[in-house]
A and B are shown apart, each in its own frame.
Chain A
Amino acid sequence: MSGGQLPRWVDLGLIPFLNLSAAFLVSGLVVILIGENPLDAVKVLLWGSLGYAEGFGFTLFYATNFIFTGLAVAVAFHAGLFNIGGEGQAYVGGLGVAFACLALDQYVPWYVTLPFAILGSAAMGAAWAFIPAWLQAKRGSHVVITTIMFNYISFSFMVYLLGNVLKKPGSMQNETRTFEDGGRLPFLNDVFPSFGFGYAPVNLSLFVALAACVAVWFLIWRTKLGYEIRSFGANATAAVYAGISPVRIIVVTMLISGGLAGMMAINEIMGSQHRLLIDFVTGYGFVGIAVALMGRAHPVGIILAAVLFGMLYQGGAELSFEMPNITRDMIIVIQGLVILFAGALEHMFRPAIVRFFTPSQALAAKEA
């Protein structure tokens, strides 16, 4: 018997909801153990992330990062590849943004710099994904292993570059000079002052991220390349039968994936920090895996999951501020639980739900 088909709303709505509920239930128990009221904690978390415009602005800012890294992982998923290198690809992608901004910021306005920053970040991220992709395609070295190793290489590589090559002369910080206005994306607060985003760093790269979602949807479900990527991911033998070259699909998919991860740097570097600095990725690449898993590798799902994780980041910060007993580490525990239930334990509730829905489906079929 095949796994059984569930109605779409169950597959895409109910199961993620149950997984999330389980995660929050367990988180609630942890909060009780610490001696705080979990309902109060939820209130703080929701208010901090959605309750006022500035908080919501922060949520959206984090979500922008997660959309990029989530899309990166999702595209690779469709080809059956597990790109764990989003962290390093985003980090190196920062170089592309910085080069574009440092070269152009004194001469042109931001909207001229932006296309170069997008191309630069995507190109650098893709380049960082290329070697693992090539090794997988030609030598069978598993991308899971090589991309993880490339994360570590990127950390050292960037520290070297920022400490020795790109550092602002006379500074003690491992960072480039601060970009001029031509290298800064406008904050949404400046574009739409009436929304009252205040000091939230959410900026125009949110729209770049949303455009990337549309582009990825189009790529995967409307283009020949997307068809080939999905074919290869679903059944590599059948793909070869169909004349699809595994080498080409692996390399091209990983380049696209790396490029998307690299574009995360636009939000952080051009949108918020306005300089290239060490460790600006801080885990967004890794959380992208969870975002892609929760979002079912579909752009709409990824947007929703990215906002959820943005809420956890922002609401979590508020929570540790309001309830000192709940530290940042607690927030990481909650995130970890969400990842655990949404990703690793994704199949925990599924068999029971399949059993629950199959008979009713049969009835529905008879009525139809």
Chain B
Amino acid sequence: MSEIPAIELRKINKSFGPVHANKDIDLVVKKGSIHGIIGENGAGKSTLMSILYGFYHADDGDIIIKGKKVTIADSKAAIGMGIGMVHQHFMLVDNFSVLENVVLGAEDSALLAGGLSRARTELKRLEEEYELRVDPEALIQDLPVGLQQRVEILKALYRSAEVLILDEPTGVLTPAEADHLFKILDVLKNQGKTVLLITHKLREIMAVTDTVSVMRRGEMVATRETGNTSMEELAELMVGRSVLLRVDKEPAQPEAPVMEVENLTVTDSRGVQVVKDVSLSVRAGEIVGIAGVSGNGQSELLETLSGIRRATSGTLKIQGESIDLGSSTLDAADMRRKNMGHVPEDRHRMGLINSFTEYENSILGYHRDPAYSRGLLMDLGAIKKNAVAEIEKYDIRPPNPMLKTANFSGGNQQKIVLAREIERDPEVLLIGQPTRGVDIGAIEFIHRRIVELRDAGKGILLVSVELDEIRALSDRVLVMFDGKIVGERGSNADEGELGLLMAGVEDNRMTAEGGVQ
């Protein structure tokens, strides 16, 4: 047991213009341990790791690796010092094989053949040693994300990484895949590697780490032995006050259905069926949650219902009207006129125009509403007045309607979208990933608004990949897998059961095999 830490950071500082992203960060990572770093989005975790991996340079402070003070000029230098990184978004070439990806950038010589055969032997050894099985000849594009991530880990090990940094590694994984990843991390640890796990999910920290450090607004606020702390304590440290992990709500009082979908099938541009024969209904005064790992048709379902995407076939009943979605030409504006609001999954790509001001974004999709226009012209007075009112009601900060939305934080951007859609008083609200990339304080606020809307007798269809969120908010939970609805549960659904459904284990098989352990 060596007492020299694998990595030690002393008084690291980093500023981007006016933003002090890292303030006097001290961190000691023991060799052969799994060390978690947790914090809200924007707490400075990624900046700190980027400094360690050579993407950024600290303004001041020392980096000490294995007892020696170093400067890390770039990622190549970091790799040379035995630091490997698995990025949140994989850095893989889709149409290369696993082997080619592993070798890429470490080819040894101008001719590939020799390097490749050496790499194949080495890869085989690594696979055996760390139980990281993956076919070296498979193309990346044919592998599920879980295996792609394994390739990223292999890449780092191939470059003799002693310290592995994983940035939000479970964001794209099913619960089962995540569990498998944690097993891999355990094996790595037992083989003497050091793992730095960046995440904002408390559960993961509790499940795998030995030590956990909490960051808040650029500062390292605490380091704890994982065994001596609790989720509640960590959550409190992350936000600086205690937070309700549950949403307070009364049982739903559902009334008549406000939206019914029958036999909806959607085919994407490649001709692949992404939504398969989905039927569901949403009643007034209830929140219907759709759980599922992202990429199982939820996005397409929302986009079709909101008029953005065309369906192949299916019927939508809304406001007493039955619409044949296979032949309708209704666009998003038409659906809004039918009192359907839509908070899209991706606010940057769809929900906001980030180069526009807050007030311009506050009417996106409603700009033809007579309340905000006079003939051909926009009624800027009315638009700004409405924007100011929404800013006040939703506590959007900074309270400046003239600011471009790009300059708001994630949580405030989401509030701008939410305010726009809720304040138009829709009968049905489609919501995708309401709290993705949003800090805990704003999550609480957003969840409260959604429940208030439900209590006002509106129907809500909620899509989220965060199981906790689905369970906290929904009155009924539908699970989507491979374009189909594979199961329905009540508001107190068992998490393990939902997880299995999300992973494609069929409802009947689950009961046949004696349920969940």
List residues of chain A with CB under 8 Å of any chain B CB: 1-2, 4-5, 222-225, 227-228, 230-231, 234-235, 237-245, 358-359, 361-362, 365
20 contacts between A and B (CB under 8 A): A5-B407, A222-B377, A222-B378, A222-B380, A223-B377, A223-B378, A224-B373, A224-B377, A230-B356, A231-B364, A235-B353, A237-B350, A240-B308, A241-B364, A242-B364, A242-B365, A243-B334, A243-B336, A358-B17, A358-B18
Whether A241 pairs with B332 at a CB distance below 8 angstroms is: yes
CB distance from B47 to the nearest CB of A (A): 10
Looking at B353, B378, B380, the one whose CB has the most chain A CB atoms below 10 A away is B353
List residues of chain B with CB under 8 Å of any chain A CB: 16-18, 306-308, 331-336, 342, 344, 349-356, 360, 364-365, 367-368, 373, 376-378, 380, 404, 406-407
**Chain A residues within an 8 Å CB radius of B349:** 235, 237-238
**Chain B residues within an 8 Å CB radius of A235:** 349-350, 352-355
Whether A227 pairs with B355 at a CB distance below 8 angstroms is: no
CB distance from B401 to the nearest CB of A (A): 15
Whether B17 pairs with A362 at a CB distance below 8 angstroms is: yes
**Which of B308, B356, B378 is close to A224, meaning CB atoms less than 8 Å apart?**
B378
Nearest A-chain residue to B309, judged by Cβ: A240
Nearest B-chain residue to A239, judged by Cβ: B353
Whether B367 pairs with A224 at a CB distance below 8 angstroms is: yes
Give Cα A189 to B16, complex, Å: 57
Give Cα A235 to B306, complex, Å: 18
CB distance from A15 to the nearest CB of B (A): 17
**Which of B331, B355, B367, B368 is close to A234, meaning CB atoms less than 8 Å apart?**
B355
CB distance from B504 to the nearest CB of A (A): 29
Known: A227-B378, A234-B354, A361-B17. 14 other contacts (CB 8 A): A1-B16, A5-B407, A222-B377, A223-B378, A225-B376, A230-B356, A231-B353, A231-B356, A234-B355, A235-B355, A237-B349, A240-B308, A240-B331, A242-B367
- 3 interchain residue pairs of minimum CB distance: A243-B333, A362-B18, A243-B332
Whether A4 pairs with B307 at a CB distance below 8 angstroms is: no
Nearest B-chain residue to A365, judged by Cβ: B18
Give Cα A365 to B331, complex, Å: 43
Give Cα A213 to B334, complex, Å: 34
**Which of B350, B351, B406 is close to A2, meaning CB atoms less than 8 Å apart?**
B406
**Chain A residues within an 8 Å CB radius of B407:** 2, 5
Give Cα A365 to B378, complex, Å: 32
Whether B368 pairs with A224 at a CB distance below 8 angstroms is: yes
Give Cα A230 to B307, complex, Å: 21
Give Cα A239 to B353, complex, Å: 8
**Chain B residues within an 8 Å CB radius of A362:** 17-18
CB distance from A249 to the nearest CB of B (A): 12
Looking at A4, A234, A240, A242, the one whose CB has the most chain B CB atoms below 10 A away is A242
**Chain A residues within an 8 Å CB radius of B376:** 223-225
Nearest B-chain residue to A4, judged by Cβ: B17
**Chain A residues within an 8 Å CB radius of B306:** 241
Whether A245 pairs with B17 at a CB distance below 8 angstroms is: no
**Which of A230, A241, A359 is close to B308, meaning CB atoms less than 8 Å apart?**
A241
Give Cα A222 to B344, complex, Å: 27
CB distance from B437 to the nearest CB of A (A): 15
Looking at B332, B334, B335, B336, the one whose CB has the most chain A CB atoms below 10 A away is B332
Nearest B-chain residue to A232, judged by Cβ: B353
Give Cα A4 to B342, complex, Å: 30
**Chain B residues within an 8 Å CB radius of A222:** 377-378, 380
**Chain A residues within an 8 Å CB radius of B367:** 224, 227-228, 242
Give Cα A228 to B365, complex, Å: 9
